[in-house]
Chains A and B, each alone.
Chain A
């Protein structure tokens, strides 16, 4: 079953603006991961944050995790047209299996 739920489902912004996507989940986790998928392509791993971490950075990406609220956010700063893609969170639910959310489709307009 899908336990990760992203919002918004779609987000359209201008180049240079920041994009924030949120993910909520239902069960306990060991870690939460964010992936990017360009249209019709495979998934690109962006960042993994463990349950004992609250924030993690990677380049223009900033991920937060609030285990008390069972939620995570992905912030992309200074967005570029090339960031246009769908973004998915995935949780492990305490097992090796990943459960993906429905994704946020981000469009960055030049």
Chain B
């Protein structure tokens, strides 16, 4: 099956610093990647949709200047949390979807736990 990796798996940073999270599709080309955030004991909330070579589309209420998304290639998307604050502490999960016609399934990464002190 298709594999999606995330790096790092966890990160602890000081308030005010920026953190970059990578999402890679290992064995397929992902034309679309999605970034989700999950707070403890809650469901996944879609933050943004990222298409290779174009600007990400952010969901309502998600600050695009705070959560920078880059989808520079068909196998890599990055999420940068800029000037992180304790309230940004969460579990960030990406998913990837292949080219049109390859099915509707999204393949999820293992997640990155961000803790901002």
Contacts and interface: CB of A to CB of B under 8 A. Distances in A.
Interface of A: 2, 30-31, 33, 35, 40-45, 48, 88, 92, 96-103
B65 interface: no
| Main DSSP-derived SS at the A contact region | loop
Interface of B: 6, 32, 34, 42-46, 49, 91, 93, 95, 97, 104-111, 113
A42 B111 contact: yes
A45 B32 contact: no
A92 to B, nearest CB: 7
Contacts of A33: 105
Nearest to B100: A96
A42 B108 contact: yes
Contacts of A41: 110-111
Contact of B34 (A31, A35, A42, A97): A97
Contacts of A40: 91, 111, 113
B43 A102 contact: yes
Going nearest first, the 8 A-B pairs with the smallest beta carbon separation are A42-B110, A43-B108, A42-B111, A100-B44, A100-B43, A102-B43, A42-B108, A103-B43
Contacts of A97: 34, 46, 49
A35 B109 CA distance: 13
Interface centre among A43, A48, A103 (most CB of B within 10 A): A43
B111 A99 contact: no
Contacts of B34: 97-98
16 contacts: A2-B45, A33-B105, A40-B111, A42-B6, A42-B109, A42-B110, A43-B95, A45-B107, A96-B32, A96-B49, A96-B97, A97-B49, A99-B46, A100-B45, A102-B42, A103-B43
